[in-house]
Homo-oligomer: A and B are copies of this chain.
């Protein structure tokens, strides 16, 4: 990495942050180069010199999002003292992260490249993998709850994890539709009401 030549006149990290927020708000296709350069305060050749392409910028935006908002959620999960608390913190931290002031609502990973054809197949596969990682991540935490006798041994952990990730994804859409943090927390509490039946064992969770 040469340190010769004219130095960059803008803060790369800050520009990336602005770009991430625009992708977050409008999605990959919805954010045009003209809008991105406007939000980032640079001209397009500078964007291409620094990030290679629109897709390159988007990839870095994904990484940035995961390192920031994503880390907040999993950090909250890590300090949970029980399997139930893992799910509770996962959903509560989600409610907070999806309604931060001054940031787009909902989840970048869920909302920014939904429709086929948006972004490249590679990028969409990458985002898909990150969504699935939420399921595997929660499943691993739940496994410790089984070892601790907190969850019945015959519980389908991945199924439970997938249910709560599905609720989280629904919360992303609710947030994008204007739901407040309090509304998301109420949804989270409703989902947590299923915890007992879901983890109590053989007597199949039946509701009524």
Interface residues, chain A, with chain B CB atoms under 8 Å away? 25-27, 29-30, 82, 84, 87-88, 110-112, 114-118, 128, 131-132, 150, 159-160, 162-163, 165-174, 176-177, 183, 186-187, 189-198, 205-208
How far is the CB of A55 from the nearest CB of chain B, in Å? 16
Interface of A is mostly: helix
**A196 touching B207, Cβ below 8 Å:** yes
The residue of chain B having its C-beta at the shortest distance from the C-beta of A173 within the complex is B169
When all copies of this chain in the complex are counted, the total is 2
Chain B residue nearest to A25 (CB atoms) is: B116
User: With contacts A27-B115, A159-B190, A186-B159 known, is A173 near B207, CB below 8 A?
Assistant: no
- In the complex, chain B residues whose CB is within 8 Å of the CB of A150: 208
Residues of B within 8 A of A30 (CB): 29, 115-118
- Determine which residue in A112, A169, A171, A206 has the highest number of CB atoms from chain B within 10 A of its CB, and name it: A169
